[in-house]
Chains A and B, each alone.
Chain A
Amino acid sequence: GAVVSQHPSRVICKSGTSVKIECRSLDFQATTMFWYRQFPKQSLMLMATSNEGSKATYEQGVEKDKFLINHASLTLSTLTVTSAHPEDSSFYICSAGQGARDQPQHFGDGTRLSIL
């Protein structure tokens, strides 16, 4: 089945650092990928929709200058958390689907980000 790879799986860094997370579709092309954030014991929250070759669409309340998204190819989207602070510590997950409306999303393994 479709596989989505996310890297890195774990990041611990100092406040003020920028962190880049990669999301790759390994055996299919994804014109659209989604980025989510999940705080402990809470549900997944959609942050933004990443569109290949065009600007990402951000959900209300998500700062586009804080969370930079680049979707330069059909198999790779990146999320950069700029100048991360402790409140940005969370579980970040990407997903991608094979395009057809009845196809499910497949999730990356997630990235656990801890900002000290």
Chain B
Amino acid sequence: RKEVEQDPGPFNVPEGATVAFNCTYSNSASQSFFWYRQDCRKEPKLLMSVYSSGNEDGRFTAQLNRASQYISLLIRDSKLSDSATYLCVVNRIPGTGNQFYFGTGTSLTVIP
């Protein structure tokens, strides 16, 4: 089983729509969680960390459910510029040090 699993999409939504992505992780020892955004042919950029109590940054809300081992990202009032691939990233510390695990990404296209 993969460490991190995401629905690859694609999600095609109209401008102004609300869209949600989920991500599940397999190892209960995972400690830190992040959402990254990757534009085509570019490097991933940190969108937001995910905290246990849930956190919001403008139109973006991230939530963590440790019991069910999933993370979610909610985007409200979608903009054309939100079109990208969204990567779920999970960190844990195995015996050899920090290890980050990436989901395959969820593709979002916001349509005018």
A34 within 8 A of B: yes
Determine if A97 and B98 form an interchain contact, defined as CB atoms under 8 angstroms apart: yes
Determine if B49 and A104 form an interchain contact, defined as CB atoms under 8 angstroms apart: yes
User: Which among A43, A101, A112 is the interface contact of B32 at CB below 8 angstroms?
Assistant: A101
Distance in angstroms between the alpha carbons of A109 and B41 in the assembled complex: 10
Determine if A102 and B100 form an interchain contact, defined as CB atoms under 8 angstroms apart: no
**Could you give, for residues 85-112 of chain B, a 1 whenever the CB lies within 8 Å of some chain A CB and a 0 otherwise?**
0010101010011111011110000000
Residues of chain A within 8 A of B104, CB atoms compared = 42-43
How many chain B residues touch A (Cβ–Cβ < 8 Å)?
A: 23
Q: Closest residue of chain B to A110, judged by CB? A: B43
Distance in angstroms between the alpha carbons of A116 and B65 in the assembled complex: 47
Determine if B43 and A107 form an interchain contact, defined as CB atoms under 8 angstroms apart: yes
Distance in angstroms between the alpha carbons of A69 and B43 in the assembled complex: 20
Interface residues in A1-23 (C-beta closer than 8 Å to B): 6
**Could you give, for residues 59-74 of chain B, a 1 whenever the CB lies within 8 Å of some chain A CB and a 0 otherwise?**
0000000000000000
**Could you give, for residues 26-47 of chain A, a 1 whenever the CB lies within 8 Å of some chain B CB and a 0 otherwise?**
0000001010000000111010
Determine if A51 and B97 form an interchain contact, defined as CB atoms under 8 angstroms apart: yes
Determine if B98 and A101 form an interchain contact, defined as CB atoms under 8 angstroms apart: yes
Distance in angstroms between the alpha carbons of A101 and B101 in the assembled complex: 13
**Could you give, for residues 99-116 of chain A, a 1 whenever the CB lies within 8 Å of some chain B CB and a 0 otherwise?**
101111111111010000
Residues of chain B within 8 A of A6, CB atoms compared = 43
The 6 closest A-B pairs by CB, nearest first: A43-B104, A107-B43, A110-B43, A102-B32, A104-B46, A104-B34
Which residues of B are at the interface with A, using a C-beta cutoff of 8 A?
A: 31-32, 34, 41-46, 49, 87, 89, 91, 93, 96-100, 102-105
- Other than A99-B98, A105-B100, A106-B46, give 18 A-B pairs with Cβ distance below 8 A: A32-B98, A42-B104, A43-B102, A43-B103, A44-B102, A49-B97, A49-B99, A101-B31, A101-B93, A101-B98, A102-B32, A103-B32, A104-B46, A105-B34, A107-B44, A107-B45, A108-B43, A109-B42
